[in-house]
Amino acid sequence: MKIIDAHVHLIEFMAGFNRRGEMRPIGGGKARWASGEVWNLVPPGLGEYGFTGEKMLEIMDAHGVEKAVLVQGNASGYQNEYSYEMMKKYPGRFTAACTFDPFMLDAEKIKNRFFYEMRFPIVKFEVGTDCGLMSYHRPFPLDGEPMSPIYDEIEKNGQVLVMDVGRFTDASHQHGALVNIAKGHPAMKFVICHILLPSKGDDAELERQMKALDFDNVWFDLAALPLLLQGEPNPDALVLHFIEIARKIAGPKRLMWGSDVPSTLQYNSYADLINMIVRSGIFTDSEFEDVFYNNAALVYPFGK
């Protein structure tokens, strides 16, 4: 089975910033926030202060993974320059998303550099109240200013939009806005991370939201659920339960597997993240090909 990992975080240097303040790497794959909290971002053996493209390629080669999509977020800090370098250095293996804070005074200048000088093929916004833009900005409408003109530009450029909107109870989880974005930009490929990030008891709401997002230009990735549901009893079973719901509603043509490494490797090996789904019986053999490869190959552009 061919595999594309549709959700990977490379970290040249840990440089996160969110509601906890700024991040400082302290070695051993750990970082301390200004609030005093310490996070384990990179499991032992994968990097003292970051997680390199070469280390990711070692993991990919050991598990038969052909390509990976490099995304970014505030949890480890923006990695635009490094993601770009890795995409250019390994064009057949990596493609990359840029990201930026649209509230910065120089946001237009930065956006233009990423879009038209560096020509990133993918744009990702992490907007959640825990680690995203709304963790240090007041809540704002995802389908209003300053975001809407950016979506228009992404659609015009043929770029892919990726969004992580946080949990169902977060002010950033604006389901109606996601529907408006998808409907208003039918030519834009739109990927929503973590199948909308449900928690235990969200079954009916997950079904409702996924049904409302039944558009030809919308896909969902399955990344990080084993990590994000760790606080729940029997989290692996809950992960598979939500994936079954996603398959029933969205269908296998609109789901993409992703690992969300390196942080997810705290609880599961890379092989476990693959085999958990492969051995679940949720998908047929042909559906596995779609979820693990074909859908990502259709959505995300890779260099030669």
**pLDDT for res 296:** 98
Other CB atoms within a 10 A radius of the CB of residue 181 amount to 25
What percent of the chain lies above the pLDDT cut of 90? 92
Which pTM value belongs to this model? Answer: 0.96
Residue 156: is its pLDDT beyond 80? yes
- Start-to-end Cα distance in the chain: 21
Distance in angstroms (rounded) separating the CA atoms of residues 93 and 62: 14
Residue ranges in 198-284 assigned as alpha helix (H): 203-212, 225-228, 235-250, 270-278
**pLDDT for res 303:** 78
Other CB atoms within a 10 A radius of the CB of residue 147 amount to 19
- Residue found by looking up tokens 């339960």 in the block: 241
- pLDDT one-digit tens code per residue, 56-75: 999 999 999 999 999 999 99
Distance in angstroms (rounded) separating the CA atoms of residues 265 and 62: 15
- pLDDT one-digit tens code per residue, 92-121: 999 999 999 999 999 999 999 999 999 999
**pLDDT for res 98:** 98
**pLDDT for res 304:** 66
Q: Which residues are registered as beta bridge partners of 157?
A: none
**pLDDT for res 178:** 98
- pLDDT one-digit tens code per residue, 157-205: 999 999 999 999 999 999 999 999 999 999 999 999 999 999 999 999 9
Torsion of CA 256, 260, 261, 266, to 10 degrees: -120
Q: What is the mean pLDDT of residues 203-230?
A: 93
Q: Are 228 and 194 in contact (CB under 8 A)?
A: yes
Helix (H, G, I), strand (E, B) or coil at 301: coil
Q: In the 3-class helix/strand/coil scheme, how is 143-184 assigned residue by residue?
A: CCCCCHHHHHHHHHHCCEEEEECCCCCCCCCCHHHHHHHHHH
What percent of the chain lies above the pLDDT cut of 70? 100
Q: Which amino acid is at 246?
A: A
Distance in angstroms (rounded) separating the CA atoms of residues 304 and 301: 10
Q: Helix 175-184 vs helix 203-212: angle between axes, to the nearest 10 degrees?
A: 20
**pLDDT for res 240:** 92
pLDDT, mean over the chain: 95
Q: Which amino acid is at 123?
A: V
**pLDDT for res 248:** 96
Q: What is the mean pLDDT of residues 10-39?
A: 96
Q: How confident is the model at residue 4 (pLDDT cuts 50, 70, 90)?
A: very high
Helix (H, G, I), strand (E, B) or coil at 219: strand
The domain 3-10+50-299 is classified under which CATH number: 3.40.50.300, 2.70.98.10, 3.20.20.140, 3.40.50.720?
A: 3.20.20.140
**pLDDT for res 103:** 97
Distance of CA 236 to the CA centre of its chain: 19
Helix (H, G, I), strand (E, B) or coil at 281: coil
**pLDDT for res 259:** 96
Distance in angstroms (rounded) separating the CA atoms of residues 15 and 26: 12
Q: Are 262 and 41 in contact (CB under 8 A)?
A: yes
Q: What is the mean pLDDT of residues 128-136?
A: 96
Other CB atoms within a 10 A radius of the CB of residue 22 amount to 14
Rounded to 5°, angle at Cα 195 from 235 and 246: 85
- pLDDT one-digit tens code per residue, 235-287: 888 899 999 999 999 999 999 999 999 999 988 999 999 999 999 999 999 99
Gyration radius of the chain's alpha carbons: 18
- Residue found by looking up tokens 């053999």 in the block: 285
